Amino acid sequence: MEILAREELAMNSNDFYLCSWYDWSLWLQHIYTARRRRQEDHELLMEMFRSTWTRFYNWNRGDNPAISPQDFFRLSYDTDKPTDTEPKEEDKLALVEKIKRMESKSKWKKRG
């Protein structure tokens, strides 16, 4: 904890050891808030660049498909793209065929 106080808050040893737990929790909240603001500032700049790159690319893309800003890089507030989780009909049929082949090659014969 002293390293954190020295590096993030520029406290000296005396100030750190004279700090109560309440004061220390306030200093930790200060560090958390400063880091969050710094991340938001970085993400704002990244958003500006990726939206500019996207517009430039889409204006000059020719026959290529359009892209979205998330295709360059993802940020913390981006939502996931919906994925197709339902298997296709061909995949279902292929799975059924594999299971039938495995059952026919089984070492253990069913008793009937």
For 86-103, the pLDDT digits (tens) are: 767 787 788 888 888 887
Identity of residue 104? S
Residue pLDDT, tens place only, 25-74: 999 999 999 999 999 999 999 999 999 999 999 998 888 888 888 888 88
Q: What angle do CA 54, 57, 60 make, to 5 degrees?
A: 145
Contacts 24+ apart (CB under 8 A), 30-34: 31/4, 34/8
Tokens in use for 25?
A: 């929790």
pLDDT at 85: 65
Residue 100 identity? K
Query: Global pTM?
Result: 0.56
User: What does the buried/exposed string (b/e) look like for 20-30 if buried means 16 or more CB atoms within 10 Å of the residue's CB?
Assistant: eeeeeeebeee
Residue spans per domain, the chain: 2-77
